[in-house]
Chains A and B, each alone.
Chain A
Amino acid sequence: MIPVLIGVSIIIFLIFQAAPGDALTGMMDPKMSYETKQKLRKQLHLDEPGIIQYKYWVQNVLKGDFGESFYFKQPVGKVMNTYIWNSFYLSLASFILSVLIAIPIGVISATRQYSFMDYFFTVFALIGISMPSFFFGLLLIKWFAVDIKLFPVSGMMTAGSTAVGFAKFKDVMYHMTLPLIVLTLGSVAGLMRYTRSSMLEVIRQDYVRTARAKGLREKVVIYKHALRNALIPVVTIFGMWLPGLFSGAMITEAIFNWPGIGPIELLAVNNRDYPLLMGINMLLAFLTLLGNLIADVTYALVDPRIRLK
């Protein structure tokens, strides 16, 4: 894990070294004098060779200091902390909803392979995978927000609202509905296909026949004996979702103006706010690795054949 993290940090660093200009370009006041610039460069170690700069950067990152965002004129850590949780709420809601929808329809598809239901859900899943999220988001806004005005066009709360407690929650949910639909459509599809193929594999197994031969009800055979096995690979991919929970759905969030990390990253890209970009990407890479670790641990928890060393 550590070597991978080092590799990731090197690549991120290299990408930004490749960008024209340096960390000062975005920050500089055009009126700044040459001397001040040089002084600042020295202060930020920008006059030193890349490898030394990398060393300073890593040292700071290890201390939790990702530098200062050019655009927000605030520490990167603080900016991330402000927005990441909004992404998290939206992603978490979508995650829960996806699991609740995808697993049952995956099971139904697999147990009735080649039936009408199976084809229906298969097509549904492929639609979910094929639909560009920005286009779907815009369509929903047009139909439900602009045309029939059922949902708000954008944002996370009604402007100027001072609601607290349950009223606030309701307001957020109301704003969340459309982006939630867009996000969930995309993730249900993949998860459902995954559950389906895993389940198809399992229901062919001998132990499922054994369970039937015992006289168990079909429901028990499927939902206890088969599903429990089919979910082993499925829950391990839950770990892989961890970075996704925080990275936010950049495009969906941007379209609905959801104040998450996605639009912030877009802003950072457009304004070449390199420290912020590096910070976000480093964090995501770390979360990915953590997610892999969690996946391994979950694997050991749900599969008795695997024990943690």
Chain B
Amino acid sequence: MGELLSIKNLKTYFYTEDGVIKAVDDVSLSIREGETLGVVGESGCGKSITAMSILKLIPNPPGKIVDGEIIFDGKDLTKATDEEIRKIRGNKISVIFQEPMTSLNPVFTIGDQIIEAIVLHQNMNKEKAREKAIDMLKLVGIPRADEVVDAYPHELSGGMRQRAMIAMAMACNPKLLIADEPTTALDVTIQAQILDLMRDLKNKTNTSIMLITHDLGVVAEMADHVVVMYAGKVVEEANVYEIFKNPMHPYTLGLLESKPILNQDKDRLNSIPGQVPNPLNMPEGCYFHPRCSKAMDICRREQPELCSVKDGHRVACHLYREVK
């Protein structure tokens, strides 16, 4: 499998009234064709901003891609013109957003919104595009697709809207699908259905997926490869078996331990003590050290680099420095 997308040393910063927020700080990762990459980490660690940087969807101002490369299909997207990026958006790379309830435009019908994307990228006339839209809605398992195509978003449930979003995203057979927490806002049974659907689609079309989530259960089920992020940085990266069998970074360990027992109160899951650092005021040394039970002297002074520890398993932690 060849590399489809590779991000190298990406830095995306927000220049706000109160200071610079380094939302994505020197992140490198890559996705191979047909692969699903899971990106996990606590809220605010920069998962979405990494994903949005790929398609240059960062609100500017205040956000800006400061440095780094994003190579897709052999081309550096950070240097692409607006016109070039537009040809890729929704065509070769599609996105499903976190919030199905608000991601569809309330004043246009579902059909209009899907047809718009099809007409834009695939020389099709309106009627053909409409047929294709209905087909896509059927494909994502929407009953009565020929009626739903004329429905407005508010007439559908959250799960149905997310299906419609997926239909829209898949309509142009993208090579890469970025799914930013596609199921977070949905309830558990619907979550499972949507994930099944995505896996199905992936197997049918060989689309690569960048799956962003907080949910290690979803990662275990869906991903081939996993990237763990903390405070704008990648702290660990390995294939999915390795991550679950042999987690190394203390943060990853914490995440795995905090995996809840089923039916537990959802709000009290985090067993990693301490708080996410203030993005405006990052601690010296390893960003994780105030919360790390294994923190050493050096951790307070020096930032660990991401190093290969084993074949394809990389960690950014001073504990594993010697192994290198």
Contacts and interface: CB of A to CB of B under 8 A. Distances in A.
**Direct A–B touching in the complex (beta carbon < 8 Å)?**
yes
Contacts of B165: 210
What band does the interface of chain B fall in when counting residues whose beta carbon is under 8 Å from A?
20 to 34
Nearest to A212: B57
Contacts of B213: none
A159 B103 CA distance: 61
A222 to B, nearest CB: 13
A214 interface: yes
Interface in A190-226: 205-207, 209-218, 225
Given A304-B154, A305-B152, A214 B116 contact: yes
Closest 3 A/B residue pairs (Cβ): A215-B89, A214-B90, A215-B90
A303 interface: yes
A212 B242 CA distance: 37
A213 B154 CA distance: 21
Interface of A: 114, 205-207, 209-218, 225, 228-229, 232, 302-305
B102 A213 contact: no
Contact of B105 (A207, A215, A302): A207
Contacts of B120: 214-216
B86 interface: yes
A215 B88 contact: yes
11 contacts: A207-B105, A210-B97, A210-B104, A213-B89, A213-B97, A215-B86, A215-B88, A216-B86, A225-B105, A228-B107, A229-B105
Contacts of A218: 82
Interface in B190-229: none
B263 to A, nearest CB: 31
Contacts of B116: 214, 216
A225 B99 CA distance: 18
Interface in B30-45: none
Contact of B57 (A209, A216, A302): A209
Say what secondary structure dominates the interface of chain A.
helix
Contact of A206 (B91, B99, B154): B99
Interface of B: 55, 57, 61, 82, 86-91, 94-95, 97, 99, 102-108, 113, 116-117, 120-121, 152, 154, 165, 168
A304 B110 CA distance: 12
Nearest to A218: B82
A209 B97 contact: yes
Given A209-B97, A305-B152, A214 B168 contact: yes
Contacts of A114: 61
Contact of B154 (A214, A228, A305): A305
A235 to B, nearest CB: 12
A207 B90 contact: no
Given A213-B95, A228-B105, 10 more contacts: A207-B103, A210-B105, A213-B55, A213-B90, A213-B94, A214-B90, A214-B120, A217-B86, A225-B105, A305-B152
B104 A215 contact: no
Nearest to B114: A214
Contacts of A210: 95, 97, 103-105, 113, 165
Contact of B121 (A211, A212, A215, A217): A215
A303 B153 CA distance: 12
A213 B57 contact: yes
A215 B106 contact: no
B152 A214 contact: no
